[in-house]
C-alpha cells in the first residue's frame, strides 16, 4: 500500500503565491512520473504539470511561466510552486504518482486533493 499526503492549499488573492506538496510513503521500490492535476466544479480533471524520474517537465499551457513543478527523490515528494495566481486557477488540486512497488505491479496513485481558491 502507498499513501499520498498533500498539503499547501488555501485561499489567496489574485497575484499571490502558494506551494503545494505531496509526499508518498509505503510500499515503494521506485517512483516514476509525479504530477499535479486539478478539477474545478463542473469541469473535467486536467493535467497541470508533471515531472519524470529524470526531471523532464510538462506543463499545461495555462500555467506555463507561472507554475513550477519539482521533486525531491530522497523524500518521495513532489512540489508545485504557483505564482501570479488567477481566479481561474481555483480548483481542487490532486497529486498523481506512478509507483513501482516491491513485489507488486506498477500502479497509479492519487492524493485526496487540496483546495486552492483564488479571489479576485
Secondary structure class of 89 (helix, strand, coil): helix
Residue-level pLDDT, tens digit, the chain, 120 residues: 899 999 999 999 999 999 999 999 998 889 999 999 999 999 999 999 999 999 999 999 999 999 999 999 999 999 999 999 999 999 999 999 999 988 888 899 999 999 999 999
List, in order, residues 6 or more apart from 72 with CB less than 8 Å away: 79
Contact 22, 97 (CB under 8 A): yes
Residue 80 corresponds to which cell in the numbers above? 508545485
Amino acid at each position: 500500500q502507498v499513501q499520498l499526503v498533500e498539503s499547501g492549499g488555501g485561499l489567496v488573492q489574485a497575484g499571490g503565491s502558494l506551494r503545494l506538496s505531496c509526499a508518498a510513503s509505503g510500499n515503494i521500490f521506485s517512483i516514476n512520473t509525479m504530477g499535479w492535476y486539478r478539477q474545478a466544479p463542473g469541469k473535467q480533471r486536467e493535467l497541470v504539470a508533471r515531472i519524470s524520474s529524470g526531471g523532464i517537465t510538462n506543463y499545461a499551457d495555462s500555467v506555463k511561466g507561472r507554475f513550477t513543478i519539482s521533486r525531491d527523490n530522497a523524500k518521495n515528494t513532489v512540489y508545485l510552486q504557483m505564482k501570479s495566481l488567477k481566479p481561474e486557477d481555483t480548483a481542487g488540486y490532486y497529486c498523481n504518482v506512478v509507483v513501482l512497488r516491491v513485489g507488486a505491479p506498477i500502479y497509479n496513485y492519487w492524493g485526496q486533493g487540496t483546495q486552492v481558491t483564488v479571489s479576485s
